[in-house]
Amino acid sequence: MNIIFPPLIEYRSIIVLATPRSGSTALGINLARKYNLYNYGEAFSVLPPGDPKEEQKIRMRNKFWENFNDDKEFLVKIFPPHKIDQADFERIIKNNFVINLKRRNVVNQIASYYTSRIRKIPRYPKYTETAVDDIINIDKDILKDTIKYLLYQLNIAVEREKYGNMILYYEDIISELTNTVLTPTPKPSNYPDLIKTIEEMLPEITR
């Protein structure tokens, strides 16, 4: 990966502060490989009650804190709604290299997030064929909720920029992120209609 970082000898680990559909998974894979860090991914994400993956998340969080206290090097991603209080958040970022990962084009970010919600496919392995709907349903109620939820996260992300050592933009690094095992979300054939609908709804929602 060709992104230039200060020598990590000055820091212990990497924290990626991000929001959905900003390329954080691919960035995390790249950086963990480059610096030989244990990648905890979204260890602090919140799953719905009864989700079969919740036990796995709990084990991952426990392993994180165990290794954190042992001063082992790591990479972890933190999103605004993740299950972590402010005191622990500040403990994690202290003396570590913090990256704020953003997208310049919020409309495209919303479209990608909505598409992943409707398809219920969060990411696409590069070398595995994943069946996707060529046309997705544009449900304005679901889209409105998606826009509001993402804007809520983006507002918190702006407040957290003060903690960062560096801001990276998805649009600037996407060509390098494609070197991972993931590929960008395939756009549905009615993607232009989705973009147009988002652009029409945004002014009223943000009013």
C-alpha angle 92-40-18 in degrees, rounded to nearest 5: 65
pLDDT at 24: 93
Which tens digits make up the pLDDT trace of 93-126? 998 999 999 999 999 999 999 999 999 888 777 6
Q: How far is CA 143 from CA 22, 27, 68, 113, 201, in A?
A: 18, 27, 38, 10, 9
Q: Which domains does the chain have, with CATH numbers?
A: 11-205 (3.40.50)
Banded pLDDT at 2 (limits 50, 70, 90) = low
Q: Torsions phi, psi of 21, nearest 5? A: 65, 35
b/e 160-177 (16+ beta carbons within 10 angstroms → b): beeebbeebebeebeeeb
- pTM of the predicted structure, to 2 decimals: 0.90
Percent of all residues in the chain with a pLDDT value above 90, rounded to a whole number: 62
